[in-house]
Amino acid sequence: MERWKLTPVLALSALLAAAIAPDLFKQASPVDIPEADAAALSGLSARVSELAVFTTDPVSPVSTAPTTPTDELRISASLDQSSLLRGAGEDHFLVVSFQAPETEVEARQPVHMALVVDTSGSMAGAGKIDFARQATQALVSKLGPEDSFSLVTFDDNAQVHIGAQPVTDPDGFYSTIAALAPGGGTNIAPGLALGLQQLNTIERPGVKRAVLVSDGLSTESRDHLAAMSASQLESGTTVSAIGLGADFDDHLLLAMSGAGGGTYSYVDQAEQLSALFDEELKTLGSVSSRGVTLEVSLGAGVEVLDVYGYEQYNGEIVGGGYRAFIGDMYAGEVRKVVARVRVPDGALGVREVADVTVSYSGAEKDSARVSVERAINVTITDDASLASASVDSGVGALAAQAFAGDVSLDGNTWWRTGNREAMRSTFAEGVAALKVLEGRYQLPEVTARREALEVSAAEFESLVVGSQYGKQRMIDSAFHNTNDCY
């Protein structure tokens, strides 16, 4: 959630909403591409993407730049090649990675949690409301007087059942929780607003988090709800989202958690909810780096083409660079921001690509702000072998992760809306593009992602739109593909 479960950055309109335009794949590849695949690749659209944080993936953190001591946030920054062939005109990938220190603490930090629970009519099915009650009671039992808890529900309307208060007498909450009953529609915004309002009343030290649990689809604007989730980030309040069952709006919850700097999770069995609450509490209690921000200033003539991700609320591309609000990071957590850039390669010699500045505070709320800078340079050369040998395969693997996640979610979305033609086209273009990346980076990870995408394409082709299994498979596929990237 790990960031994923989700976390983010970054990671929110369409998760990893980034496509790699055909000119990205200009480098010659030893892999033979069939005409059909080449045609699909040439038709790949240059979809605009936003920002993402990639966390807890199998790729080792980029390490071409120095890192900070082990008791501080470790930061590295790198381009996918340290030497570029003059006149090649290729696009490249820039990765900034963050790893929070593995802080050992005798006791977790105080946690101030607002639980915002969907009590719409659909929660009556499959025992979901029963498990929600049980999981909430179990969560409260793990909180203490140094913590705060509030409970808000929403259906057609929103209601505060337990106002924000220290958990000095958890038994006093249980009867209120046990009385929760389902009925009505799914009106998320008032519930989220009340949850954030409860957290804003708390002035004691600790970590603030609103946790939204929903099993349904909302008619409200995704942009509006994501913006609401992001509205309290600068004051230290984050938002997590948990999808329950198979009918919730995964893209909406991804958008909210990504924009809100929290985690995203889903459970297909309601009885799993208690374990998820436990993990959320453990994560919150181990925050070691607060309010992490990233600013990238590009060198003369360097152009940012895409910053991979799924939402615009955490960051933005600005003139001469891009920036992002990463949020709080818990002990040992890893995140990465991946951008596609174009570097002028017409003249030999060393060229400045970017200056990277990362700012953050330590675990304590009033700790001093720290700022760390990294410089990224490349050498323009006429030596093709030198340029080829300087390829950073770790960055290449991250690029493939981002692209595969994007294709998977786009394909899932087209399947859900019943547009099979668009679904087929999306998967075909994605497979063709990954074949080119296989040739460029020569990595088994890229091959595995291409093969997995081919399997997904075949499976979704056979699924019946609207079927319960199809919905579950869509959510499961989207979650695991994007979890690889975050």
Tens digits of per-residue pLDDT, 237-289? 989 888 887 667 777 887 888 788 888 887 766 677 888 788 888 777 778 88
Instruction: Summarize the confidence of residues 45-51 as an average pLDDT.
Output: 31
- Higher pLDDT, residue 12 or 383: 383
**Picking from 111-115, 176-180, 192-196, 470-474, which range would have the lowest pLDDT averaged per residue?**
470-474
Task: Tell me the angle at which helices 420-441 and 393-416 cross, rounded to the nearest 10 degrees.
Answer: 170
Could you give the C-alpha distances from 85 to 90, 108, 124, 351, in angstroms and in order?
Answer: 9, 51, 62, 12
CA nearest neighbour of 60 among 47, 74, 46, 48: 74
- Tokens representing residue 380 in the block: 């323009």
- Contact between residue 167 and residue 142 where contact means Cβ atoms under 8 Å apart: no
* In the predicted structure, residue 472 carries a pLDDT above the cut 60: no
Burial of 278 (0-12, 13-18, 19+ CB in 10 A): middle
Give me the pLDDT at residue 45, please. 29
Residue 168 pLDDT grade (very low, low, confident, very high; cuts 50, 70, 90): very high
Q: Report the pLDDT value the prediction gives residue 48, as an integer from 0 to 100.
A: 28
| Tokens at 169, concatenated | 């007498």
State the pLDDT confidence band at 290, using cuts at 50, 70 and 90. confident
pLDDT confidence band for 314 (50 / 70 / 90): low
pTM of the full structure: 0.67
User: Would you call 157 helix, strand, or coil by DSSP?
Assistant: coil
pLDDT at 463 over 60: yes
Read off the tokens for 70: 């082990």
Q: Are 329 and 335 in contact (CB under 8 A)?
A: yes
Q: Average pLDDT in the 113-124 region?
A: 92
Residue with tokens 């946030």: 73
CB atoms closer than 10 angstroms to residue 212: 27
How confident is the model at residue 67, as a pLDDT? 46
Burial of residue 338 (CB within 10 Å: 0-12, 13-18, 19+) is buried
Q: What percent of the chain has pLDDT over 90?
A: 31
Identify whether the C-beta of residue 150 lies closer than 8 Å to the C-beta of residue 156: no
Average pLDDT, the chain: 77
Q: CB-based burial of residue 393 (10 Å sphere; 0-12 exposed, 13-18 middle, 19+ buried)?
A: middle
Q: Does position 415 have pLDDT exceeding 80, yes or no?
A: yes
The one-letter amino acid at 486? Y
Domain boundaries, the chain: 22-103+288-485, 111-285
Per-residue pLDDT, 328: 79
Above 90 in pLDDT, residue 441? Answer: no
Query: What mean pLDDT is predicted for residues 25-42?
Result: 39
Render pLDDT for 56-113 as a digit per residue (tens, 0 to 9): 333 333 444 444 444 588 898 999 899 999 999 888 889 888 888 876 655 678 899 9
Q: Which CATH class is domain 111-285?
A: alpha beta
CATH of 22-103+288-485, one of 3.20.20.70, 2.60.40.740, 2.40.110.10, 3.40.109.10: 2.60.40.740
Burial of 21 (0-12, 13-18, 19+ CB in 10 A): middle
Query: Stretch 368-381: mean pLDDT, rounded?
Result: 92
* CB 111, CB 143: distance < 8 Å: yes
- Is the model more confident about 31 or about 98? 98
| 302 has pLDDT over 60 | yes
Our measurement of the distance from residue 37's CA atom to the centroid of its chain's CA atoms, rounded to an integer in Å, reads 30
Residues 119 and 132: their CA atoms lie apart, in Å, by 10
Is pLDDT at 360 greater than 50 in this prediction?
Answer: yes
CB 362 within 8 A of CB 80: no
Q: Determine the average pLDDT of the residues in 133-162.
A: 93
- Measuring CA to CA, which residue among 147, 158, 79, 83 is closest to residue 111? 147
Pick the more confident residue, 415 or 295.
295
Angle between helix 222-230 and 250-259 (nearest 10): 30
pLDDT digits (tens, 9 = 90+) for 347-357: 999 999 999 99
For residue 422, pLDDT beyond 80:
yes
Q: Looking at this protein, which amino acid is placed at residue 382?
A: D
Cα–Cα distances in angstroms (integers) from residue 406 to residues 201, 318, 416, 436, 446, in the given order = 39, 23, 15, 16, 14
Q: What are the tokens at 313?
A: 């609320």
